[in-house]
Amino acid sequence: MRDEILAYKRERILEEAVKLFYERGFTGTTLDDIAAELGVTKPFIYTHFRGKVELLAALCKPTIELSLAAVANAATLPGTPTERLRHAITDFTKVVLQRQPNIAIFFREEKNLSPESLAEINALRRQFDHLLSGLLIEGVATGEFEIQDHSLAALALGGMISWAYTWYRAGGRLTLEETAARMADLALRMAGVRVAIPA
Amino acid sequence: MRDEILAYKRERILEEAVKLFYERGFTGTTLDDIAAELGVTKPFIYTHFRGKVELLAALCKPTIELSLAAVANAATLPGTPTERLRHAITDFTKVVLQRQPNIAIFFREEKNLSPESLAEINALRRQFDHLLSGLLIEGVATGEFEIQDHSLAALALGGMISWAYTWYRAGGRLTLEETAARMADLALRMAGVRVAIPA
DNA sequence: ACCCCAGGCTACTCGCCGGTAGTCTTTCAA
DNA sequence: TTGAAAGACTACCGGCGAGTAGCCTGGGGT
Protein backbone atom coordinates (compact mmCIF):
# COMPACT_ATOMS: atom_id res chain seq x y z
CA MET A 1 0.00 0.00 0.00
CA ARG A 2 2.68 2.47 1.03
CA ASP A 3 4.74 1.36 -1.92
CA GLU A 4 1.82 1.88 -4.26
CA ILE A 5 1.36 5.43 -3.10
CA LEU A 6 5.08 6.04 -3.45
CA ALA A 7 5.08 4.51 -6.93
CA TYR A 8 2.13 6.65 -7.89
CA LYS A 9 3.86 9.81 -6.81
CA ARG A 10 6.96 8.76 -8.67
CA GLU A 11 4.84 8.30 -11.77
CA ARG A 12 3.31 11.73 -11.35
CA ILE A 13 6.74 13.30 -11.21
CA LEU A 14 7.76 11.44 -14.34
CA GLU A 15 4.61 12.49 -16.19
CA GLU A 16 5.14 16.11 -15.38
CA ALA A 17 8.84 15.95 -16.18
CA VAL A 18 8.11 14.40 -19.58
CA LYS A 19 5.65 17.13 -20.36
CA LEU A 20 7.98 19.96 -19.39
CA PHE A 21 11.20 18.52 -20.81
CA TYR A 22 9.30 17.97 -24.06
CA GLU A 23 7.98 21.51 -24.20
CA ARG A 24 10.93 23.48 -22.84
CA GLY A 25 13.90 21.15 -23.11
CA PHE A 26 15.90 19.56 -20.31
CA THR A 27 18.02 22.58 -19.42
CA GLY A 28 15.09 24.89 -20.05
CA THR A 29 13.15 23.19 -17.26
CA THR A 30 14.02 23.60 -13.59
CA LEU A 31 13.19 21.18 -10.82
CA ASP A 32 11.20 24.01 -9.25
CA ASP A 33 9.08 24.16 -12.43
CA ILE A 34 8.27 20.47 -12.18
CA ALA A 35 7.57 20.66 -8.47
CA ALA A 36 5.36 23.73 -8.89
CA GLU A 37 3.33 21.99 -11.59
CA LEU A 38 2.74 19.13 -9.18
CA GLY A 39 1.90 21.44 -6.30
CA VAL A 40 4.89 20.29 -4.26
CA THR A 41 8.41 21.61 -3.70
CA LYS A 42 11.80 20.70 -5.04
CA PRO A 43 13.08 18.61 -2.11
CA PHE A 44 10.12 16.32 -2.62
CA ILE A 45 11.56 15.25 -5.96
CA TYR A 46 14.77 14.26 -4.22
CA THR A 47 12.87 11.71 -2.15
CA HIS A 48 12.16 9.83 -5.40
CA PHE A 49 15.16 10.59 -7.61
CA ARG A 50 18.82 11.18 -6.90
CA GLY A 51 18.85 14.24 -9.13
CA LYS A 52 17.80 15.81 -12.39
CA VAL A 53 19.95 13.57 -14.55
CA GLU A 54 18.55 10.40 -13.01
CA LEU A 55 15.08 11.74 -13.73
CA LEU A 56 16.06 12.10 -17.38
CA ALA A 57 17.34 8.52 -17.53
CA ALA A 58 14.14 7.28 -15.90
CA LEU A 59 12.19 8.88 -18.73
CA CYS A 60 14.30 7.56 -21.55
CA LYS A 61 15.39 4.04 -20.76
CA PRO A 62 12.01 2.31 -20.36
CA THR A 63 10.84 3.80 -23.65
CA ILE A 64 13.89 2.52 -25.52
CA GLU A 65 13.34 -0.87 -23.85
CA LEU A 66 9.77 -0.83 -25.11
CA SER A 67 10.96 -0.12 -28.65
CA LEU A 68 13.38 -2.98 -28.50
CA ALA A 69 10.73 -5.27 -27.01
CA ALA A 70 8.34 -4.48 -29.85
CA VAL A 71 10.82 -5.61 -32.48
CA ALA A 72 12.14 -8.51 -30.39
CA ASN A 73 8.64 -9.83 -29.89
CA ALA A 74 7.73 -9.60 -33.56
CA ALA A 75 10.99 -11.26 -34.58
CA THR A 76 10.26 -14.41 -32.54
CA LEU A 77 6.68 -14.78 -33.74
CA PRO A 78 5.81 -17.54 -36.21
CA GLY A 79 5.22 -16.47 -39.79
CA THR A 80 7.09 -15.39 -42.89
CA PRO A 81 9.72 -12.66 -42.71
CA THR A 82 7.26 -10.41 -44.53
CA GLU A 83 4.62 -10.93 -41.86
CA ARG A 84 7.11 -10.50 -39.06
CA LEU A 85 8.64 -7.35 -40.52
CA ARG A 86 5.19 -5.86 -40.92
CA HIS A 87 4.43 -6.75 -37.33
CA ALA A 88 7.72 -5.35 -36.08
CA ILE A 89 7.34 -2.05 -37.90
CA THR A 90 3.71 -1.65 -36.90
CA ASP A 91 4.41 -2.23 -33.23
CA PHE A 92 7.55 -0.11 -33.20
CA THR A 93 5.70 2.75 -34.85
CA LYS A 94 2.99 2.52 -32.22
CA VAL A 95 5.56 2.75 -29.45
CA VAL A 96 7.10 5.82 -31.07
CA LEU A 97 3.73 7.52 -31.43
CA GLN A 98 2.43 6.56 -28.01
CA ARG A 99 5.65 7.64 -26.32
CA GLN A 100 6.38 10.50 -28.65
CA PRO A 101 7.54 12.93 -25.95
CA ASN A 102 9.86 10.40 -24.36
CA ILE A 103 11.38 9.50 -27.72
CA ALA A 104 11.83 13.17 -28.55
CA ILE A 105 13.46 13.87 -25.22
CA PHE A 106 15.84 10.99 -25.60
CA PHE A 107 17.09 12.04 -29.00
CA ARG A 108 17.37 15.69 -28.08
CA GLU A 109 18.87 15.34 -24.63
CA GLU A 110 21.13 12.34 -25.13
CA LYS A 111 24.11 14.53 -24.28
CA ASN A 112 22.70 15.24 -20.83
CA LEU A 113 22.52 11.59 -19.77
CA SER A 114 25.20 10.14 -17.53
CA PRO A 115 27.80 8.13 -19.48
CA GLU A 116 26.55 4.98 -17.75
CA SER A 117 22.90 5.46 -18.69
CA LEU A 118 23.89 6.38 -22.21
CA ALA A 119 26.00 3.26 -22.55
CA GLU A 120 23.12 1.06 -21.36
CA ILE A 121 20.70 2.67 -23.76
CA ASN A 122 23.12 2.49 -26.66
CA ALA A 123 23.51 -1.22 -26.03
CA LEU A 124 19.74 -1.56 -26.42
CA ARG A 125 19.85 0.43 -29.65
CA ARG A 126 22.53 -1.84 -31.06
CA GLN A 127 20.36 -4.85 -30.28
CA PHE A 128 17.48 -3.12 -31.98
CA ASP A 129 19.44 -2.51 -35.20
CA HIS A 130 20.79 -6.04 -35.06
CA LEU A 131 17.31 -7.56 -34.79
CA LEU A 132 16.05 -5.45 -37.66
CA SER A 133 19.01 -6.38 -39.85
CA GLY A 134 18.43 -10.02 -38.94
CA LEU A 135 14.83 -9.86 -40.08
CA LEU A 136 15.91 -8.32 -43.36
CA ILE A 137 18.56 -10.99 -43.91
CA GLU A 138 16.00 -13.74 -43.28
CA GLY A 139 13.68 -12.23 -45.85
CA VAL A 140 16.46 -12.08 -48.40
CA ALA A 141 17.23 -15.75 -47.68
CA THR A 142 13.64 -16.79 -48.41
CA GLY A 143 13.60 -14.62 -51.53
CA GLU A 144 10.81 -12.41 -50.17
CA PHE A 145 13.03 -9.37 -49.82
CA GLU A 146 15.43 -7.82 -52.26
CA ILE A 147 17.96 -5.69 -50.44
CA GLN A 148 21.34 -4.41 -51.47
CA ASP A 149 22.65 -3.45 -48.04
CA HIS A 150 20.74 -4.72 -45.04
CA SER A 151 22.67 -2.61 -42.53
CA LEU A 152 21.88 0.58 -44.36
CA ALA A 153 18.30 -0.54 -44.92
CA ALA A 154 17.87 -1.21 -41.21
CA LEU A 155 19.13 2.27 -40.39
CA ALA A 156 16.90 3.83 -43.01
CA LEU A 157 13.91 1.91 -41.70
CA GLY A 158 14.63 2.81 -38.10
CA GLY A 159 15.08 6.44 -39.06
CA MET A 160 11.92 6.66 -41.10
CA ILE A 161 9.90 5.51 -38.09
CA SER A 162 11.78 7.26 -35.30
CA TRP A 163 11.51 10.50 -37.22
CA ALA A 164 7.77 10.45 -36.62
CA TYR A 165 8.49 12.00 -33.23
CA THR A 166 9.12 15.26 -35.08
CA TRP A 167 5.82 15.49 -36.94
CA TYR A 168 3.15 13.22 -35.51
CA ARG A 169 0.24 14.95 -33.80
CA ALA A 170 -2.37 12.92 -31.95
CA GLY A 171 -5.80 13.76 -33.32
CA GLY A 172 -4.38 14.70 -36.70
CA ARG A 173 -5.39 13.48 -40.13
CA LEU A 174 -4.40 9.88 -39.49
CA THR A 175 -5.01 7.82 -36.39
CA LEU A 176 -2.17 6.08 -34.64
CA GLU A 177 -3.20 2.73 -36.14
CA GLU A 178 -3.49 4.11 -39.67
CA THR A 179 -0.11 5.76 -39.43
CA ALA A 180 1.47 2.56 -38.16
CA ALA A 181 -0.12 0.50 -40.93
CA ARG A 182 1.04 2.85 -43.67
CA MET A 183 4.52 3.02 -42.25
CA ALA A 184 4.64 -0.78 -42.39
CA ASP A 185 3.64 -0.66 -46.07
CA LEU A 186 6.40 1.82 -46.82
CA ALA A 187 8.87 -0.34 -44.90
CA LEU A 188 7.96 -3.47 -46.85
CA ARG A 189 8.40 -1.60 -50.07
CA MET A 190 11.84 -0.51 -49.02
CA ALA A 191 12.58 -4.18 -48.41
CA GLY A 192 11.59 -4.88 -52.00
CA VAL A 193 8.21 -6.45 -51.34
CA ARG A 194 5.54 -5.64 -53.92
CA VAL A 195 2.86 -4.03 -51.77
CA ALA A 196 -0.53 -3.34 -53.27
CA ILE A 197 -2.02 -0.01 -52.29
CA PRO A 198 -5.68 0.39 -51.41
CA ALA A 199 -7.67 2.57 -53.79
CA MET B 1 40.11 43.44 -47.28
CA ARG B 2 39.14 44.39 -43.75
CA ASP B 3 35.79 42.83 -44.33
CA GLU B 4 37.40 39.64 -45.54
CA ILE B 5 39.43 39.34 -42.37
CA LEU B 6 36.33 39.99 -40.29
CA ALA B 7 34.38 37.40 -42.23
CA TYR B 8 37.17 34.92 -41.80
CA LYS B 9 37.19 35.38 -38.04
CA ARG B 10 33.44 35.03 -37.99
CA GLU B 11 33.80 31.77 -39.85
CA ARG B 12 36.39 30.52 -37.40
CA ILE B 13 34.05 31.20 -34.48
CA LEU B 14 31.28 29.35 -36.26
CA GLU B 15 33.50 26.37 -37.02
CA GLU B 16 34.57 26.05 -33.43
CA ALA B 17 31.05 26.55 -32.14
CA VAL B 18 29.75 23.81 -34.43
CA LYS B 19 32.40 21.44 -33.20
CA LEU B 20 31.75 22.09 -29.52
CA PHE B 21 27.95 22.31 -29.69
CA TYR B 22 28.01 19.01 -31.56
CA GLU B 23 30.23 17.30 -29.02
CA ARG B 24 28.93 18.79 -25.77
CA GLY B 25 25.55 20.25 -26.61
CA PHE B 26 24.50 23.90 -26.66
CA THR B 27 24.06 24.38 -22.92
CA GLY B 28 27.03 22.14 -22.24
CA THR B 29 29.29 24.57 -24.08
CA THR B 30 30.22 27.98 -22.70
CA LEU B 31 31.30 30.96 -24.73
CA ASP B 32 34.55 30.80 -22.78
CA ASP B 33 35.07 27.26 -24.11
CA ILE B 34 34.66 28.43 -27.67
CA ALA B 35 36.88 31.46 -27.14
CA ALA B 36 39.58 29.38 -25.43
CA GLU B 37 39.61 26.91 -28.31
CA LEU B 38 40.18 29.83 -30.67
CA GLY B 39 42.87 31.38 -28.49
CA VAL B 40 40.79 34.49 -27.88
CA THR B 41 38.46 35.65 -25.10
CA LYS B 42 34.72 35.81 -24.71
CA PRO B 43 34.20 39.52 -25.47
CA PHE B 44 35.77 38.92 -28.86
CA ILE B 45 32.82 36.72 -29.79
CA TYR B 46 30.50 39.60 -28.97
CA THR B 47 32.15 41.71 -31.67
CA HIS B 48 30.77 39.21 -34.23
CA PHE B 49 27.54 37.93 -32.68
CA ARG B 50 24.94 39.51 -30.46
CA GLY B 51 24.94 36.52 -28.14
CA LYS B 52 24.99 32.77 -27.77
CA VAL B 53 21.53 32.26 -29.22
CA GLU B 54 22.36 34.26 -32.34
CA LEU B 55 25.42 32.08 -32.78
CA LEU B 56 23.18 29.02 -32.70
CA ALA B 57 20.87 30.45 -35.34
CA ALA B 58 23.86 31.33 -37.52
CA LEU B 59 24.85 27.65 -37.44
CA CYS B 60 21.44 26.25 -38.21
CA LYS B 61 19.71 28.46 -40.70
CA PRO B 62 22.18 28.33 -43.61
CA THR B 63 22.28 24.55 -43.38
CA ILE B 64 18.51 24.25 -43.57
CA GLU B 65 18.57 26.68 -46.48
CA LEU B 66 21.08 24.43 -48.19
CA SER B 67 18.82 21.42 -47.71
CA LEU B 68 15.90 23.27 -49.18
CA ALA B 69 18.04 24.53 -52.06
CA ALA B 70 19.14 20.98 -52.89
CA VAL B 71 15.56 19.81 -53.30
CA ALA B 72 14.38 23.04 -54.93
CA ASN B 73 17.13 22.83 -57.51
CA ALA B 74 16.42 19.19 -58.35
CA ALA B 75 12.71 19.88 -58.64
CA THR B 76 13.17 22.50 -61.35
CA LEU B 77 15.58 20.44 -63.42
CA PRO B 78 14.39 18.90 -66.70
CA GLY B 79 13.72 15.18 -66.65
CA THR B 80 11.17 12.65 -65.46
CA PRO B 81 9.91 12.71 -61.87
CA THR B 82 11.95 9.59 -61.24
CA GLU B 83 15.14 11.30 -62.35
CA ARG B 84 14.34 14.42 -60.40
CA LEU B 85 13.45 12.56 -57.23
CA ARG B 86 16.69 10.61 -57.45
CA HIS B 87 18.55 13.87 -57.92
CA ALA B 88 16.74 15.55 -55.03
CA ILE B 89 17.36 12.71 -52.59
CA THR B 90 20.97 12.31 -53.62
CA ASP B 91 21.75 15.98 -53.16
CA PHE B 92 19.79 16.31 -49.96
CA THR B 93 21.58 13.30 -48.50
CA LYS B 94 24.91 14.85 -49.39
CA VAL B 95 23.98 18.05 -47.59
CA VAL B 96 22.99 16.09 -44.49
CA LEU B 97 26.23 14.12 -44.50
CA GLN B 98 28.47 17.08 -45.30
CA ARG B 99 26.81 19.24 -42.67
CA GLN B 100 26.11 16.45 -40.25
CA PRO B 101 27.08 18.42 -37.11
CA ASN B 102 24.96 21.41 -38.09
CA ILE B 103 21.98 19.21 -38.82
CA ALA B 104 22.42 17.38 -35.53
CA ILE B 105 22.68 20.63 -33.62
CA PHE B 106 19.55 22.00 -35.22
CA PHE B 107 17.40 19.01 -34.37
CA ARG B 108 18.75 18.71 -30.86
CA GLU B 109 18.81 22.36 -29.92
CA GLU B 110 15.71 23.63 -31.71
CA LYS B 111 14.25 24.59 -28.33
CA ASN B 112 17.12 26.98 -27.69
CA LEU B 113 16.52 29.08 -30.80
CA SER B 114 14.72 32.39 -30.55
CA PRO B 115 11.05 32.12 -31.56
CA GLU B 116 11.82 34.33 -34.57
CA SER B 117 14.67 32.19 -35.86
CA LEU B 118 12.66 29.05 -35.28
CA ALA B 119 9.71 30.44 -37.20
CA GLU B 120 11.94 31.33 -40.14
CA ILE B 121 13.51 27.91 -40.20
CA ASN B 122 10.19 26.14 -39.86
CA ALA B 123 8.92 28.07 -42.85
CA LEU B 124 11.85 26.65 -44.82
CA ARG B 125 11.04 23.17 -43.61
CA ARG B 126 7.45 23.49 -44.72
CA GLN B 127 8.64 24.52 -48.18
CA PHE B 128 10.92 21.53 -48.18
CA ASP B 129 8.10 19.09 -47.39
CA HIS B 130 5.90 20.80 -49.91
CA LEU B 131 8.46 20.45 -52.70
CA LEU B 132 9.00 16.80 -51.89
CA SER B 133 5.25 16.12 -51.85
CA GLY B 134 4.96 17.95 -55.15
CA LEU B 135 7.59 15.75 -56.74
CA LEU B 136 5.78 12.66 -55.52
CA ILE B 137 2.45 13.91 -56.86
CA GLU B 138 4.01 14.56 -60.26
CA GLY B 139 5.36 11.05 -60.38
CA VAL B 140 1.97 9.62 -59.54
CA ALA B 141 0.45 11.72 -62.33
CA THR B 142 2.85 10.29 -64.90
CA GLY B 143 2.28 6.81 -63.55
CA GLU B 144 5.91 6.38 -62.54
CA PHE B 145 5.16 6.36 -58.82
CA GLU B 146 2.56 4.45 -56.88
CA ILE B 147 1.88 6.16 -53.58
CA GLN B 148 -1.03 5.90 -51.19
CA ASP B 149 -0.36 9.03 -49.17
CA HIS B 150 2.13 11.50 -50.58
CA SER B 151 2.24 13.66 -47.43
CA LEU B 152 3.16 10.72 -45.26
CA ALA B 153 5.58 9.45 -47.89
CA ALA B 154 7.32 12.84 -47.99
CA LEU B 155 7.71 12.82 -44.22
CA ALA B 156 8.99 9.25 -44.25
CA LEU B 157 11.47 10.11 -46.97
CA GLY B 158 12.69 13.22 -45.23
CA GLY B 159 13.06 11.32 -41.99
CA MET B 160 14.94 8.42 -43.49
CA ILE B 161 17.54 10.84 -44.84
CA SER B 162 17.69 13.33 -41.99
CA TRP B 163 18.17 10.48 -39.58
CA ALA B 164 21.57 9.84 -41.11
CA TYR B 165 22.89 12.55 -38.82
CA THR B 166 22.63 10.04 -35.99
CA TRP B 167 24.70 7.25 -37.51
CA TYR B 168 26.84 8.42 -40.42
CA ARG B 169 30.58 8.44 -39.82
CA ALA B 170 32.92 9.94 -42.39
CA GLY B 171 35.52 7.36 -43.36
CA GLY B 172 33.17 4.49 -42.52
CA ARG B 173 32.20 1.52 -44.66
CA LEU B 174 30.46 3.61 -47.30
CA THR B 175 31.63 6.85 -48.84
CA LEU B 176 29.41 9.87 -48.86
CA GLU B 177 28.56 9.32 -52.53
CA GLU B 178 27.76 5.64 -52.07
CA THR B 179 25.54 6.38 -49.13
CA ALA B 180 23.70 9.07 -51.07
CA ALA B 181 23.20 6.79 -54.07
CA ARG B 182 21.82 3.96 -51.98
CA MET B 183 19.52 6.27 -50.10
CA ALA B 184 18.16 7.44 -53.44
CA ASP B 185 17.49 3.81 -54.43
CA LEU B 186 15.61 3.21 -51.18
CA ALA B 187 13.65 6.41 -51.70
CA LEU B 188 12.58 5.44 -55.20
CA ARG B 189 11.44 2.07 -53.95
CA MET B 190 9.32 3.76 -51.34
CA ALA B 191 7.79 5.76 -54.16
CA GLY B 192 6.87 2.49 -55.83
CA VAL B 193 9.51 2.52 -58.56
CA ARG B 194 10.93 -0.86 -59.42
CA VAL B 195 14.64 -0.38 -58.76
CA ALA B 196 17.05 -3.03 -59.85
CA ILE B 197 19.81 -3.72 -57.34
CA PRO B 198 23.42 -4.29 -58.38
CA ALA B 199 24.76 -7.75 -57.66
C1' DA C 1 57.97 61.90 -31.53
C1' DC C 2 53.28 61.96 -30.46
C1' DC C 3 48.45 61.20 -30.67
C1' DC C 4 44.56 58.51 -31.56
C1' DC C 5 41.79 54.79 -32.09
C1' DA C 6 40.46 50.19 -32.81
C1' DG C 7 40.77 45.65 -31.47
C1' DG C 8 41.07 42.89 -27.77
C1' DC C 9 41.54 41.86 -22.90
C1' DT C 10 40.85 41.91 -17.64
C1' DA C 11 37.88 41.86 -14.31
C1' DC C 12 33.66 42.26 -12.86
C1' DT C 13 28.22 41.74 -11.99
C1' DC C 14 24.11 39.44 -11.50
C1' DG C 15 20.65 36.08 -11.88
C1' DC C 16 19.77 31.39 -11.98
C1' DC C 17 19.35 26.77 -10.42
C1' DG C 18 20.86 22.15 -8.62
C1' DG C 19 21.41 20.46 -4.45
C1' DT C 20 21.12 20.36 0.94
C1' DA C 21 20.58 21.33 6.02
C1' DG C 22 17.62 21.69 9.26
C1' DT C 23 12.74 22.69 10.83
C1' DC C 24 7.90 21.99 11.21
C1' DT C 25 3.80 19.21 11.21
C1' DT C 26 1.00 15.40 11.27
C1' DT C 27 -0.03 10.86 12.42
C1' DC C 28 0.21 6.71 14.87
C1' DA C 29 1.67 3.59 18.61
C1' DA C 30 2.04 2.88 23.41
C1' DT D 1 -1.42 12.21 26.27
C1' DT D 2 2.91 11.97 24.71
C1' DG D 3 6.92 10.74 22.03
C1' DA D 4 8.92 9.69 17.88
C1' DA D 5 9.48 9.24 13.22
C1' DA D 6 8.24 10.12 8.59
C1' DG D 7 7.21 13.24 5.14
C1' DA D 8 7.35 17.54 3.31
C1' DC D 9 8.67 22.38 3.51
C1' DT D 10 11.50 26.85 4.21
C1' DA D 11 15.52 28.82 3.58
C1' DC D 12 19.80 28.68 2.23
C1' DC D 13 24.53 27.83 -0.34
C1' DG D 14 27.72 27.82 -3.95
C1' DG D 15 29.05 27.54 -8.50
C1' DC D 16 28.51 28.76 -12.94
C1' DG D 17 28.16 31.32 -17.06
C1' DA D 18 26.05 35.04 -20.06
C1' DG D 19 26.80 39.43 -20.77
C1' DT D 20 29.31 44.19 -19.88
C1' DA D 21 32.26 48.27 -18.38
C1' DG D 22 36.21 50.08 -18.83
C1' DC D 23 41.33 49.62 -19.54
C1' DC D 24 45.42 48.56 -22.24
C1' DT D 25 48.37 48.26 -26.20
C1' DG D 26 50.32 48.45 -30.60
C1' DG D 27 50.38 50.41 -35.05
C1' DG D 28 49.39 53.99 -38.47
C1' DG D 29 48.88 58.85 -39.65
C1' DT D 30 50.69 63.55 -38.99
For residue range B20-62, list pLDDT tens digits in order. 999 999 999 999 999 999 999 999 999 999 999 999 999 999 9
Which pLDDT value is given to residue A5?
A: 55
> A108 contacts in B (CB within 8 Å)?
107-111
Specify the pLDDT at position A1. 38
Q: Is residue A195 part of a domain?
A: no
- A146: nearest CA in chain B? B197
B39 and B69 fall within a common domain: no
The answer to whether residue A159 sits within a structural domain is yes
Residues B75 and B133 in one domain: yes
> Quick one: pLDDT at residue B196?
75
Residues A81-107, mean pLDDT to the nearest whole number: 98
CA–C1' B45–D16 (A): 19
Which residue type does A65 have?
A: E
What CA–CA distance (Å, rounded) separates A30 from B103?
A: 27
Quote the pLDDT of residue B2.
46
CB distance B179–A25 less than 8 Å? no
Count of domains in chain B?
Answer: 2
Residue B138's domain spans which residues?
A: 52-190
What SS3 class is residue B175?
Answer: coil
In tens, the pLDDT along B125-152 reads 999 999 999 999 999 999 999 999 999 9
Instruction: Judge whether A198 lies within some domain.
Output: no
Domain presence at residue B198 = no
What CATH code is carried by the domain that includes residue B170?
Answer: 1.10.357.10
Which single residue has its CA nearest the C1' atom of nucleotide D9? A41
**Residue B31 belongs to domain with CATH number:** 1.10.10.60
Give the pLDDT score at A2: 46
Same domain (yes/no): B59, B42: no
Residues B61 and B107 reside in one and the same domain? yes
CA-based nearest residue in chain B for residue A151: B173
- Give A144's pLDDT tier (boundaries 50, 70, 90): very high
Provide the pLDDT confidence category of residue B195 given band limits of 50, 70 and 90: confident
How many other C-beta atoms can be found within 10 angstroms of the C-beta atom of residue B197? 12
In angstroms, what separates the C-alpha of B3 from chain A's closest C-alpha?
37
Among the partner-chain residues B24, B111, B179, the one whose CB lies closest to the CB of A111 is B24
B114 and B29, same domain (yes or no): no
DSSP string covering B111-153:
GGS-HHHHHHHHHHHHHHHHHHHHHHHHHHHHTS---S-HHHH
Residue B14 CA distance to nucleotide D24 C1' (Å):
28
- Helical segments of chain A, H only: 2-24, 31-38, 42-46, 52-76, 81-98, 100-109, 115-141, 150-162, 176-190
d(CA B57, CA A42) in angstroms, rounded, equals: 33
Report if residue B168 sits inside a domain. Answer: yes
Of B27, B162, B192, the CB nearest to A189: B192
- Could you tell me the distance in Å between the CA of residue A37 and the C1' of nucleotide C25? 23
Q: Which bases of chain C are contacted by protein, using any atom under 7 A from a CB?
A: 7-11, 16-22
Å between B44 CA and D23 C1'?
Answer: 15
Residues A55, A46: Cα–Cα separation, whole Å: 10
Asked if residue B82 belongs to a domain, the reply is yes
Q: D16 C1' – A51 CA distance, angstroms?
A: 18
pLDDT over 90 (residue B197): no
Q: CB-CB: which of A27, A109, A186 is closest to B190? A: A186
* For chain B, percent of residues with pLDDT exceeding 90: 92
Q: What is the mean pLDDT of residues A135-159?
A: 97
pLDDT for position A195: 79
- On the question of pLDDT at B89 being above 80, the answer is yes
Do A160 and A118 lie in one domain? The reply is yes
Of residues A5 and A59, more confidence is placed in A59
SS3 category, B172:
coil
Whole-model pTM: value is 0.94
Question: In chain B, which residues touch A (CB < 8 A)?
Answer: 24-25, 27-28, 107-112, 146-149, 151-153, 155-164, 166-167, 173-174, 179, 182-183, 185-186, 189-190, 192, 197-198
Q: Mutate which of A100, A155, A176 to disrupt the B interface (most B C-beta within 10 Å)?
A: A155
In this structure, are residues A146 and A140 in contact, taking their beta carbons and an 8 Å threshold? yes
Residues 14-73 of B with CB under 7 A from strand D: 29-32, 42-43, 46, 51-53
CA distances for B134 relative to B79, B148, B183, angstroms: 15, 14, 19
The answer to whether A183 and A70 have CB atoms below 8 angstroms apart is no
Report the pLDDT averaged over residues A91-114.
98
Co-location of A72 and A38 in the same domain: no
**One-letter identity of residue B7:** A
A100: nearest Cα among A165, A37, A153, A24: A165
